[in-house]
Structure 1
Amino acid sequence: MRQAELERSADTVLPTVYGDFRAVGYHDPDLACEQIALVYGDIPTRGVLTRLHSECLTGDAFGCNRCECGEQFSAAMRAIVAEGAGVLVYLQGHEGRGIGLLAKLKAMQLQENGLDTVEANVALGLPVDARDYHIAADILHDLGIASVRLLSNNPHKLDSLRRHGISITERVPLLITPNEENLPYLQTKRERLAHILPQLDGFSTSSS
C-alpha cells in the first residue's frame, strides 16, 4: 500500500556522451531510495519514446557479459537522442529483478553450478521477479506524460504501466545480439519469462 507521494527533488542539466539530458531526481518513499529520469529534448504528452531501465550495477557499470543490461542502456540512450525527444527512467531498487545486489551475486553463483536464472532465485527462496513499476508511472505522470512508446522486450512492464495509468501506444523492441556468456540467460528470459526476443531464433538452445 502506498505510504507517501513521490517527491521531485532536483532538476538539472546532465551532459553525457550521448547528448545533453535533463536529470530530474526524485525521492522514492516506498523503496526509501532515490530515482532519476533522464529527459531529452522537448517531450510531448503522448507517445513519448521511453525506456524503464532497472538498475544493474554488474552490467551497467562493470560491463558484465552475463546480461544485456549495459548494452540495452546505451542503445536506449542512443535511440532517444536519435528520436529528438524521450525519457529514460533509471530505477534503483530493481537490481537482480528486485532481489538486490548480494542476492543477485548468489544467484549468479548458483547459475555457475547449472541452474538457470529462474531456478536460482527460487533456490534462494526469492521471487523470480519482484519488480513493480508504479514509481516509474508516477515519474511519468509528474513529467506530464500520459502515453509512451516503450523500449522494452518485457510484457510485464507494459502491463504494469497500464495498471498504473500510463497508456502504451507502441512497444519498441530493444534487441541485443547475444554473446556466449549471456545466451543461456536470454534464452531463459524468452522461454520462462515470456520476453520477446526474436533475435535468438538463429542460436542453439542447447546451453539453456
Structure 2
Amino acid sequence: MHKIKLAIVDDHKILREGIKASLINKIDIDIVFEAENGEDFLEKLKYQIIDVVLLDIKMPKIDGIEVLKTIKNLDSDIKVIILTMFDTESYVLKLMDLKANGYLLKNSDPQEIYNAIKNSVDFGYYFPDFVKNLLLKRTVSQKKINPKNNENLIEFTQKEVDIIRLISEQKTSAQIGKEMFLSPRTIDGIKAKLIERTKVDNTIGLIVYCYKHGILL
C-alpha cells in the first residue's frame, strides 16, 4: 500500500500536534516532517519527498502564499492544502487563483482533514462546500461565452458529460466506473483525454471549463 507522504506547516506547535494526533491511526498516511514557517519548510523540502502539505498562510519569515507560489513554480506534483482561519470570498479566491489544491479551516474536524488529504491525492483537489460555491459563483458571474454561438466549443458526448459530473462530485475512478459500467482504467483514460482536449492542467480545470461553457449547470 502506498502511503501518502505528508508535511504539516504551521507556526503554532499545538495545532501541528493536534493534526498529528488526529492522523496517528491512519495507516495510509505518513507524516514525513513538520515545519514552523515557510523558510523551515522549504529547507526541509530539499531533502524530503512529500505528496501533500497542509500549509498555514500567516507565518513569520516566509508566509504560506510565497511557499505556495514556490511549490507551483517548481512544477512538482505536491498537493497544497491551505490551512487557515479566514473564509472571506476575496481571500479564498486569491488562493484558488494561485492554484491551491485544497482549502481547510483550522476548526475542521479530523475526518474532514483526512478526506482533504485523500481527495487531493485521488482527485487533485479538495474544497469544502463553501469554497465550491464561491468558485461556482465567480465562474457564473464571469461567464462570457454563449455555447450555442461558439464555433470553437468542444463537443462532449453524453457519456463524457456524465463522467465529468461524477468527477465534480469527487467520486473515484472506481466509483465512476461502477456507475458507468466501465473499468477504472478506462475512466482514467477518458479523464486524460478530456483534460488534453480542453487544454487544461487537471480535473479542477476541466470542471471549471464545463461550468464556464454551460456544459455543467
Same topology, TM > 0.5: no
More strand by share: 1
**TM-score of the superposition, structure 2-length normalised?**
0.30
Structure showing greater Rg: 2
Higher relative contact order (CA 8 A, sep 6+): 1
More helix by share: 2
**TM-score of the superposition, structure 1-length normalised?**
0.31
